[in-house]
Chain A
Amino acid sequence: MVTLIAEPIDVTSALNYLQSEQAGAIDLFLGVVRDNTQERPVDRLEYEAYDRMAVSEMQKIADQARQQWPILRYAIIHRKGTLQIGEMAVLIGVATAHRADAFDACRYIIDTIKKTVPIWKKEVFTNGEEWVNAHP
């Protein structure tokens, strides 16, 4: 399951979706908005996406992960819009028979999302704002 949503991420329903009788391990990664960047206080994050391509790129990553690990079920949910401190920006869930595969696949998915998926975040500080990674 791959989705890009404006509403808060529902962890319980994602977990329900991931469970199956064959799964001995379910790994969940939750990316959460933190209150600072390099000690500069952050007020909120604003996420923007090129929707159709963000979804298709996330689906490609899921397909690549399924070729590398025996994944029973997976969930990739990314949020967009304005997020406050403590809110969840992304959920990656992977269910496999054994834990090593779940850990490895989960890490691969989040690491690759950060490199290729057309989603952008702007950090809004009390005294300014900045698109993350935009400048050298």
Chain B
Amino acid sequence: MDSSISVLLFGITRDLTGQSAVSVSLHKNASVADLLAQLHQQFPALMNIRSLLIAVNGEYAETNQVLSPTDEIALIPPVSGG
């Protein structure tokens, strides 16, 4: 069964989508890789970004990590602090 998860957006990804969070529909036990694929499909402009990582509950996640609907999920474009 599909479930909807919310993804926080920052920096260029927020500008590209015009939203600070987007809702993505994923099947049960979907992974970080599945989420990235779905985001690219939903927002083709993300292809032009140098790199995209996913953070789950405030920690960088590996691509095979399985997502839960209760996780806080964020899309992390290339950082540029300092």
Contacts and interface: CB of A to CB of B under 8 A. Distances in A.
B78 interface: yes
A81 B56 CA distance: 24
Interface string A59-87: 00000000000000000001000000000
Interface string B15-58: 10000000000000000000000000000000011100001001
Nearest to B72: A52
Nearest to B81: A119
B11 A114 contact: no
Interface residues of A, number: 29
B1 interface: no
A31 interface: yes
Interface string A114-135: 1111111110000000011111
Interface residues of B, number: 21
A56 interface: yes
A122 B11 contact: yes
Contacts of B14: 48
Contacts of A135: 48-50
A53 interface: yes
A94 interface: no
A90 B80 CA distance: 12
Interface of A: 31, 47-50, 52-54, 56, 78, 89-90, 110, 113-122, 131-136
19 contacts: A50-B55, A50-B74, A56-B58, A78-B81, A114-B82, A116-B60, A118-B10, A118-B55, A118-B76, A118-B79, A119-B79, A120-B77, A121-B80, A121-B81, A131-B11, A131-B12, A134-B78, A134-B80, A135-B49
Interface of B: 8, 10-12, 14-15, 48-50, 55, 58-60, 74, 76-82
